[in-house]
Chain A
């Protein structure tokens, strides 16, 4: 056991820091849920890739650096410290990337991973349907094999980034006779194909952060099937497993929020109740615990361990923490907590974060579903 960074890790950290210092845009980009902002964020993905920073854990041949998870966590820490732009391609690099690495053919890997790294393909996820939310096995959108292509009909919804994204990946029913988890396949679909209609859905902040995707006789080449026909559920579970548990939300994000919250408190403490102190302490203590736990998990992975349902514990923890921190910020802000225009104390930013923190317990599998998983798979309780 050595809970300390090595010399090489510190050298790596400095390298990341100095690159970010000279490349992170000085002026914040426009919101990535606007057309112009989306393209600015794509441009930033290109810049990252030119520095070989698209995804440090990937092999070099795919635009990565072949580094380990600890170094990825260090990269993330520096990334948040530098207040670098949100990764518009996080669905690609953090979720589809590792899934392709495990299940993709050689051709698929070279085609998709490189385009993902360069920002040419920005990805959306297509799991949810109007009748299949928490109950993902109720998916009804069909993909029927006809010669060298699948013909897709149906509808996906709540697809983040789909408004401007280039591709989507998701589950489709390829065996029309099948039920529930069987007969589903994992297919990669370009969003500019004939027959696809994307309808943006304005979110709580008014911006079209997610969208419905309609499929009307859409023809997708059979090469876009990931894994075997009918293997979709298994592959989707892998996407949702460890990599997602760890990569969807790296600890730096929450530690950064906790630090900002402390700053806000120190600036405003004369105007707020001493009761807030306990919340500030919780913010630090929990984000610290989250970081410790993720480093512990990453170390176990590096030693050959594997993580399954444990990622459900983390999902609940960070989403509740994020909400608590934003709620506390609004309490500190007092009456300015209703300002949605720019103001001295960044109230608008906190409010935006506050609203988004309500989504955390819903997306990536609601916290109630995560609790079912914990009870049944970790504590051994009956279905």
Chain B
């Protein structure tokens, strides 16, 4: 048992962190909002050059063969920065599924997949409105029984408004020239659902951390009654409650990622666990952060809501808290002998 990160894993995390500090400031995110163009091609190119976009592709497909734990650490940073581009989706969902996808789809993707230059979007009943279709090369579309690939020129789509202006989402009206497959659909569907839960969990924990950092800084700065509001115990305790939630959600993310990397048969349960814990942490982070900011927190001007909006979307997509509870309950009640002290690892 050695539940710590390797130096290499920390280097990847630090590298993307410092890239995002420079390239993904709240100001640059707001520029995307104002120009209605949240997909920033320069930032995307930068992330490609950093090796992030194809990091987890197999080595024979031009990637680094990165494991899911390292990826989760990086996705956490993407959450922390509120990164608008769909890097988490591309890596955690699309790249990670390539080996599982039916051959004909895999081939079609590879043909259009000029890694770094193009993006492949994905839609699923749990996250039905695909992102950034306009900047994509095509769409992987899951429905209730099939997984399809549709090249962009064969898609009829329209943009719809998200409550998070950083998320340019679409409605798909019709599709032509579909390459579809129902073979191994069950396997594929559970793989993508688990990854979706874990990806949103990792984003949420980064977002929760950002909110509490912003709030801690704010309450140190703002004074009332002649002292910083951060010296009032009611304020301290609100933020401490969030710190507790974050602390106990993080290891669930790392364990779930590790389970995926080991093909652990319980990885779906572990991903649901991670999403549940992270959604709860983020929910409290939103509530208590806005409260600690007072009316400033309720304004468009304050940056806090950049991260709150993303968190609300990430809570809703890929299964909300209740759905994860259902998954966990079903698993536990069907294998109750495997619950408890001896079955954590």
A residues within 8 Å of B by Cβ? 1-6, 9, 70, 77, 80-81, 252, 255-256, 258-259, 262-263, 266, 277-278, 280-281, 284-286, 288-293, 295-296, 298-300, 302-303, 310, 313-314, 316-317, 368, 370-372, 374-376, 378-383
| Contact present for B230 and A381 (CB under 8 Å) | yes
Q: Is B341 an interface residue (CB 8 A)?
A: yes
Chain B, residues 108-126, CB within 8 Å of chain A (1/0): the string is 0000000000000000000
Question: A289-B277, A299-B1, A372-B233 known; A255 and B251 CB under 8 Å?
Answer: no
| Contact present for B332 and A372 (CB under 8 Å) | no
| Contact present for B248 and A381 (CB under 8 Å) | no
Instruction: Tell me which of B15-23, B37-45, B237-245, B300-308 binds A.
Output: B237-245
Among B4, B9, B240, B273, contact of A375 (Cβ-Cβ < 8 Å): B240
| Contact present for A380 and B216 (CB under 8 Å) | yes
CA–CA, A161 to B329, complex, Å?
39
| Contact present for B244 and A296 (CB under 8 Å) | no
| Contact present for B216 and A381 (CB under 8 Å) | yes
Please report which residues of chain B, range 217-264, place their CB below 8 angstroms from some CB of chain A when the two chains form the complex. 219-220, 227-228, 230-231, 233, 235-237, 239-241, 243-244, 247-252, 254-255, 258, 262
CA–CA, A255 to B237, complex, Å?
27
CA–CA, A204 to B3, complex, Å?
40
B residues within 8 Å of A by Cβ? 1-6, 9, 69, 212, 216, 219-220, 227-228, 230-231, 233, 235-237, 239-241, 243-244, 247-252, 254-255, 258, 262, 273, 276-277, 325, 328-329, 332-333, 336, 339-342, 344-345
| Contact present for A288 and B342 (CB under 8 Å) | no
For the complex of A and B, list the 4 residue pairs with the smallest distance between their C-beta atoms, beginning with the closest.
A259-B340, A375-B236, A292-B251, A371-B240
CA–CA, A295 to B3, complex, Å?
7
| Contact present for A296 and B252 (CB under 8 Å) | no
CA–CA, A293 to B277, complex, Å?
12
| Contact present for B249 and A289 (CB under 8 Å) | yes
| Contact present for A1 and B340 (CB under 8 Å) | no
Q: Which residues of B contact A77 (CB under 8 A)?
A: 341-342
CA–CA, A291 to B248, complex, Å?
9
| Contact present for A262 and B332 (CB under 8 Å) | yes
Among B1, B239, B244, B254, contact of A317 (Cβ-Cβ < 8 Å): B244
From residue A299, how far is it (CB to closest CB) to chain B in Å?
Answer: 4
Q: Could you list some 9 contacts between A and B, CB below 8 A? A: A1-B9, A3-B3, A3-B255, A9-B1, A255-B340, A284-B328, A285-B276, A289-B277, A382-B230
| Contact present for B255 and A5 (CB under 8 Å) | no
**Besides the known contacts A316-B244, A379-B240, 17 further A-B residue pairs in the complex with CB atoms under 8 A apart:** A1-B69, A1-B258, A4-B262, A77-B341, A258-B339, A263-B336, A284-B332, A285-B276, A291-B344, A298-B3, A299-B1, A303-B4, A314-B247, A317-B244, A375-B237, A379-B212, A379-B243
